Structure 1
């Protein structure tokens, strides 16, 4: 994805424009979080890979030495631990690339994954966390060491998972960043293509917002819909 260079020729910016430019540039501090989160993600991916290789080696070694009976009940748990580690790595990876795309430079990868806003990022992360909870419970269920503790654990995970699912349903399709696609697209274009930090609100936008407010008050459009 290529971006047009901003034409710096013209009158000198005013003090207000200079201050807005400086405030807008503070978004690059997010790079610190992006680098840290991606390092955690890569570390988890590496640990998961090593854990997978070690598990594969040990299971085949035990199978050749002791037969198929040596794998009863433990094989699934060991590989589920690998899956859990990889899913945790995916969570941090989504957060890292999502923050980079939202604050630094838009990526085609995040668009392909459906991450176009902070609300989208929350939804994706919560979805993976729910899967991690399910995998964690499955590990305990397969072990079945203490049935009563497993039951308590299942209840706790059910409450946590239910709360996360409820959070997804409540916030699904809501939020100003999801309800104003044209304004968001225009702002991203001005920021990333024209390197313009300060946003100007035109008269047409004000009139459009007034019309939408009147339409909501009259009940012609749903109250939760956006202004565009």
Structure 2
């Protein structure tokens, strides 16, 4: 009975996926508007009159899409972990909350880099840009340190064979739900024992 309470996670899944879809839609509309605006200015004023603002606008599109990816990963990750396993998350290497954290942190680091690039292209206040770069470096460094510390803590079922089979089922056979076989469990147990005994690297087979 208590196990069925996991379905309450569907509330969070729906909310997060709605945020993701909204960001994807906003990013798409922003991309269309920016492309139209840039080509209009190019045809009317000439490409020589284009300034760095157009590059910043395109970087904002990338940032918006990456934020949408973060929410999407969280949504499908929570669904796969609490509701039913999905080939999609297995193909992405998400088998536990630790794996989900790793993937989300990786995308956040990329977002930080894109955000700094936006400020660098603007180059309005060099000193403020330098301070901003330092703050992002501290935040990014902390996230990278977090990744290294928690590397290999999750993904007991995250074996290369299982990931490849999940990708094949998803992209070739169009099967969304993942079926965990006894052979997968045996491989996971062997990998867990090997990690505990230090026979393999903690991050081997992940990614």
Q: How many equivalent pairs are there?
A: 170
Gaps of 5+ in 1: 1-21, 186-191, 194-207
1:168 aligns to what? 147
Q: Distance in 2 between matches of 1:61 and 1:181?
A: 49
Q: Distance in 1 between matches of 2:25 and 2:158?
A: 38
2:126 aligns to what? 147
2:39 aligns to what? 60
The question of whether the paired residues in 1 share the 8 Å contact of 2:93 and 2:158 is answered with: no
2:172 aligns to what? none
The alignment yields a C-alpha RMSD, in angstroms, of 2.4
Q: Distance in 1 between matches of 2:36 and 2:136?
A: 32
Q: SS of the residue aligned with 2:85? A: coil
4+ aligned runs moved over 4 Å, structure 1: 179-182
Alignment of 1:122-161 (within 5 A): 122-161=101-140
Q: TM-score, normalised by structure 2?
A: 0.76
Larger Rg: 1
1:102 aligns to what? 81
Alignment of 1:1-228 (within 5 A): 22-174=1-153, 177-179=154-156, 221-222=197-198
Gaps of 5+ in 2: 163-177, 180-188, 203-207
Q: TM-score, normalised by structure 1?
A: 0.69
Q: Distance in 1 between matches of 2:14 and 2:93?
A: 22
1:201 aligns to what? none
1:16 aligns to what? none
Shift of 1:76: 1.2
